[in-house]
Chain A
Amino acid sequence: MRRRAFLLAPLLLPALAVARQPAVTYPAASRATRLVFPRDHGAHPEFRTEWWYVTGALDTAQGEAGFQLTFFRSRPGIAEDLASPIAASQILFAHAALTLPGKPLLHAERAGRANLGAGFATTDCDVHIGAWAMRRSGSGVTEQFRLKLHDPAFGFDLTLKPTQPLLLQGENGWSQKGPRPELASHYVSWPQLQVAGSLTLDGRRQPATGRAWFDHEWSSEVLAAGGVGWDWIGINLDDGGALMAFRIRDGAGATLYAHAALRDAAGRLTQFGAGETSFTPLRRWTSPRSGAHYPVQTEIRCGPHTIETLPVQDAQEIAAHRPLPVSYWEGLVKIRGTLSGRGYLELTGYAGALKL
């Protein structure tokens, strides 16, 4: 899941970061909703926030690389009644990052309003900002995601093929995020995607293969009162299983809500509730840029499992500017403990309190 978007969602320009009551009523994620695919791979523009998120590990000539590409859709609740096809009622953001061994993290971002250089489909996963795009196509053996991004610093063109079925988080894709039932999202994951394609660095294209994790989540309200940030991880386990875990923290670092889901290699799904899931910082890395102390090495327990995150490198902090200037840590980690694999760890709310 993509908690970062929670703080990004309400928009926009520096002067606009004023909390206010939107004039529209957003639907809440409903437990009764039965998701239908590929329709529900597409956008749900009536919801406040939505994201399509791909993270993964690539095997490249330079060694093991981490990559991520995220598209956010936000319905800020403004310009809804404006009689214009380009009203800023649906806004898209995209972030991309690439972690190469021994190199500074590469990061790029884009933004645009729907129908004016950016867009999304409501029938399938098909979202783009300019030439950056994430699209699903085919079915059965031909089913694949195509990720494209082109930036002066780096780019990639990757094809992701499923090796396993979709993973509906929570109750059939209804994923609770807090103690109150309204604090929930629709949440679909697709772990263990087979990656093939190319990576462009300094204008040179090179082949790349690897494993990826796809998340698609939409909601209108998720963060419990007092929440300042969250820790989240999605792990492609070496044995073919998948583990997702998150917790929402308050200002003191205490857990407000936590949840984990494990699907083993045989496809058996186990959910771990708030009482069974815990995050314990083992080692913190201090960012020289933001001064934030990120618990990059964290112990995660869920049920019988205890694992530890080992970042491939400590400096995987991202300083994003749009829609708001915000720093967070997000990077490739190796997993050791009772389970082993490679995952993406996200740590937000450490560089100052986050505003919604």
Chain B
Amino acid sequence: MKRLAWWLIRAQFQTRRTATALSMLAIALGVALGYAIHLINDAALADFSQAMKSVQGEPDAVVAPQDSAGRVPLALINELAQDEGVALVVPVIETRVRIGELAVRLVGLDVFSAGLLMPDLLPRQGAAISGDNIFEDGMYASPALLARLGSKVPEGTHRAGAGVTATRGDATWSTRIAGDLPAARPDDLLLVADIARVQAHFGPPDGVSEGRIRLAPDTKLANWLAAWKDRLPPGLTLRAAADNQARLSNISRAYRVNLNVLAMVALLTGGFLVFATQLTAVAQRSTQFALLGVLGLAPRMRLAQVLLEGLAIGVPGAAIGLALGWAMAVAFTRLMGGDLGGGFFSGSAPVIAPEALPALGFFSLGCAASLAGALYPAWLNRMQPLAQALKTGFAQRPPHQDDSPRQRGGKVLAVALVAGAALALTQAPAVFDLPLAGYAAIALVLVLGIAAAPLVTQRVFAALARRELAAAERVAVQNVGQAPLMAQVAASGLIVSFALTVSMVTMVSSFRVALEQWLDAVLPAPYYMRSKGLPLPAELLAALERPDAPFARVERMAVGTASLDPQRPPVAVLVRELDRADPSARLPFAGEVFTAPAGNIPVWISEPMQQLYRLQTGQTLRLPLLGREVEVFVGGVWRDYSRQFGAVVIAAVDYRALGGRVEATDLALWPRRDAGDDATAQRWVREQAARHGIDGVGSGEIRALSLDIFDKSFAVTYALEAAAMLIGLFGLAVTLAASVWLRARELATLSALGFDRAMLTRAVMLEGALIAAIGLAVGLACGIAVGAILTHVVNPQAFHWRMDLQIPWLQVLPGAALTLAAGIMASRFAARQATRLPAAQVLASAQ
């Protein structure tokens, strides 16, 4: 028995090399893609949390201000420290400073407490440095920073002891590098200094930026947190440090899931290919199987054999996929780091460390896909009536399945039900912040397309067949009109692949159009200057005040953060100099804009913020601001494609009135008309940017750059679309060829009745064209539906990006025409087989 099974598998592989190899490849690709994404992200997360541990240690809890302008008062640190449930409180001041052109993280440490929690940050006094210790003066630099500083100064190197000046806004600290940080990670650009020195120079006054808490061994974290929650002053959060992990994995989750869906699509394609291959294989070997059946092979074994053949494709495919995935992950992390293209993690190349369980999981997925593909053909093989198969060959439908009007009515009802379910799913909210219902709706739409295709076919072609047609055309139309299994398979391959292609193109094009409009709206000024995360140098701001600065208008913006939910990344707080009466002049609002009632402070929130925190225009909100909670009025919701975790805009006037200091990080510049040509302003921006090591660009450049990044990050989807179309076409060719083979007797009869080669070719090619046309038409409809779901459900739920649907007819229709032509070409392959049939022999053997 075993030998028979093995023999059949070998024969199958040999006769259908291309089909088998392609199925295997698709499965391998699906597994590889999914596995690589898993490995890379796992490694990146591990790397990132390792880096965080290195800098942050492993506290049990963290107390921090809710917004970046806040602070943890010293009184609270002291109170926490004296709590008997607390073993240790490590106060830290973290800030960013500029050293020359470098923006560097500066950590103010209290070595007494930090040594126990964050040993990686402990400084080492330079051997040559005598006298002063960390409390007296000096900064301690990480090896990477020492190297960078050394290379930035041509004469002499930054040896320990060299002078160094750190600036932040108008605060300056001139000191020296007194030593290094031997345990800092190799890529960290990091400075450590005594916490009091950092505070004296850069603040915050009478507070620190964070307290990291290690609890006494017998203290229960949850109880302790609960006890402190009520005692905490407003504007502060006390959270379990484990929340950091949740927040970290939240950062990239939506992005990862979307990539994984792509992997699933590849796997499904693999499953479909296995299906198509095995179906034709079953059909073509129906006589063999019938013979084996008569000789005693049980129906159960016939089923098992086809499943086994499916596994024989799946197992090596999945194994190759694992190896490929691992190789991809290693290559990717070496080349690009662990960032998955999402820009979320940056830093060193993380180490790929495969583990047994996930590998096994992905391997099983690959096998499952191929098994699933083989399921229906296997069942069909089991159900073949032996006698008929021996005599007339493959039965495309299992027996006892007629198409009574009642059944057809049932089918229509089922289709309607599926459509209803899909529609309902699109209205469902996100689950765990993921558009799972949206994905399910997409799957249903594809199922719907496949199921509806025979119904459409029968309706259209039954009508068509009643008309006067030439013999060849009549044969083709009638054959397709009956919607035999093979035609259905061929069509469904095309439906799925074309639907996916159309939906991707639609989504990308909608997004791109929306992005262009958005860029126009958010970049009103001709020039922008920006210093990432750091206040702009005071010198630059002073230069802008001078009469020779060639600008008519300057708008400053300060960027901070506010944490509304400890498990989510903080939202950006944008303090902008805008007209409170007319915020629409600066913000691309989506929906109504309300004027705040007198006495209320208006803010305008971004769409992601609105969705993440379920906010509405016109409501009030307690926003963590300046170390306390301020009641603000949501005046409107604006579109934002750049800050996925939300942003809120507050007018600089209001921010100052609340006692805030606007430390500008961004500038929007409008050149003066009379200041000569535009080149003057451009030169000014360039020079100042270069002098201070910040970004200074024209809005056109930002626009071009943004669109370029967009195009690049979506380039991979074009490759996927091409692959999907090729697979669809391949399916068409394979199934058409199989159907020709199955209809050998009919074709031979036609040939005997006087059909010449040209007529036969025409009949088969027309058949291919008709199937392709149906597939493309249904695929187009499904594609638009899926595109709409991607645009209106998946994108808003996964990334909180809303946009209008734009169907790119100019891409879709030529694409459809091209695919149709390719489909006709593919059916030539089948037609050639038809014309090569030895008609007499076929007819003779049929008796």
**A residues with CB within 8 A of B:** 11-13, 15-16, 18, 20, 76, 78-79, 82-88, 91, 111-113, 115-119, 128, 130-131, 133, 148, 150, 152, 203, 322
> B77 contacts A116, CB within 8 Å?
yes
> B133 contacts A11, CB within 8 Å?
yes
Among A82, A118, A203, point to the contact of B200 (Cβ < 8 A).
A82
Shortest C-beta distance, B107 to chain A (Å), equals 15
Q: Evaluate whether A112 and B112 lie within 8 angstroms (CB atoms) in the complex, with A15-B124, A130-B82, A150-B84 already known.
A: yes
Nearest CB in chain B to that of A114: its residue: B78
Indicate whether B469 reaches chain A with its CB closer than 8 angstroms.
no
> B216 contacts A150, CB within 8 Å?
yes
Nearest CB in chain A to that of B89: its residue: A117
State A116–B285 Cα separation when bound (angstroms): 83
Q: Evaluate whether A112 and B113 lie within 8 angstroms (CB atoms) in the complex, with A88-B194, A117-B89, A118-B81 already known.
A: yes
Q: Within 8 Å CB of A86, what residues of B?
A: 74, 91, 110, 195-196, 199, 208
Among B87, B125, B216, B218, point to the contact of A15 (Cβ < 8 A).
B125
State A114–B130 Cα separation when bound (angstroms): 26
Q: Within 8 Å CB of B199, what residues of A?
A: 84, 86
Nearest CB in chain B to that of A12: its residue: B133
Nearest CB in chain B to that of A15: its residue: B125
Indicate whether B217 reaches chain A with its CB closer than 8 angstroms.
yes
Most buried by B among A84, A111, A150: A84
Nearest CB in chain A to that of B131: its residue: A20
> A130 contacts B135, CB within 8 Å?
no
Interface 0/1 of B111-130, CB less than 8 Å to A: 11100000000001100001
> A84 contacts B200, CB within 8 Å?
yes
> B196 contacts A13, CB within 8 Å?
no
Indicate whether B834 reaches chain A with its CB closer than 8 angstroms.
no
| Interface SS of chain B | mixed
| 10 A-B pairs with least C-beta separation | A15-B125, A117-B81, A88-B135, A16-B133, A84-B200, A84-B196, A87-B196, A111-B112, A86-B196, A131-B84
Shortest C-beta distance, B133 to chain A (Å), equals 4
Among B113, B130, B216, point to the contact of A117 (Cβ < 8 A).
B113
> A152 contacts B217, CB within 8 Å?
yes
Q: List 9 A-B contacts (CB under 8 A).
A: A11-B133, A12-B111, A16-B134, A78-B133, A79-B194, A84-B197, A85-B74, A117-B89, A152-B216
Q: Within 8 Å CB of A82, what residues of B?
A: 196-197, 200
Shortest C-beta distance, A328 to chain B (Å), equals 21
State A87–B197 Cα separation when bound (angstroms): 7
Residues of B within 8 Å of A, CB-based: how many?
36
Q: Within 8 Å CB of B579, what residues of A?
A: none
> B135 contacts A117, CB within 8 Å?
no
Nearest CB in chain A to that of B206: its residue: A85
Q: Within 8 Å CB of B374, what residues of A?
A: none
Interface 0/1 of B39-82, CB less than 8 Å to A: 00000000000000000000000000000000000100110011
Q: Within 8 Å CB of B89, what residues of A?
A: 117, 130
Q: Evaluate whether A78 and B135 lie within 8 angstroms (CB atoms) in the complex, with A88-B194, A128-B82, A131-B84 already known.
A: yes
Shortest C-beta distance, A134 to chain B (Å), equals 13
Shortest C-beta distance, B494 to chain A (Å), equals 69
Nearest CB in chain A to that of B198: its residue: A84
State A112–B195 Cα separation when bound (angstroms): 12
Q: Evaluate whether A117 and B77 lie within 8 angstroms (CB atoms) in the complex, with A13-B133, A15-B133, A131-B82 already known.
A: yes
Nearest CB in chain A to that of B79: its residue: A117
State A86–B93 Cα separation when bound (angstroms): 12
Shortest C-beta distance, A36 to chain B (Å), equals 27
> A116 contacts B110, CB within 8 Å?
yes
Indicate whether B136 reaches chain A with its CB closer than 8 angstroms.
yes
State A186–B130 Cα separation when bound (angstroms): 33
Nearest CB in chain B to that of A152: its residue: B217
Q: Within 8 Å CB of B113, what residues of A?
A: 112, 117
Q: Within 8 Å CB of A130, what residues of B?
A: 81-82, 86-89
Q: Within 8 Å CB of B516, what residues of A?
A: none
Shortest C-beta distance, A116 to chain B (Å), equals 6
> B78 contacts A116, CB within 8 Å?
yes
State A213–B349 Cα separation when bound (angstroms): 60
Interface 0/1 of B130-168, CB less than 8 Å to A: 110111100000000000000000000000000000000
Supply 10 further A-B pairs (C-beta < 8 A) apart from A13-B133, A84-B199, A117-B89.
Answer: A79-B197, A86-B199, A87-B135, A111-B112, A117-B77, A117-B78, A130-B81, A131-B82, A152-B216, A322-B112
State A111–B112 Cα separation when bound (angstroms): 6
Shortest C-beta distance, B268 to chain A (Å), equals 55
> A13 contacts B77, CB within 8 Å?
no
Shortest C-beta distance, A70 to chain B (Å), equals 17
> B74 contacts A116, CB within 8 Å?
yes
State A91–B208 Cα separation when bound (angstroms): 18
State A152–B88 Cα separation when bound (angstroms): 12
State A87–B125 Cα separation when bound (angstroms): 19
Interface 0/1 of B688-720, CB less than 8 Å to A: 000000000000000000000000000000000
Indicate whether B631 reaches chain A with its CB closer than 8 angstroms.
no
Most buried by A among B83, B135, B200: B135
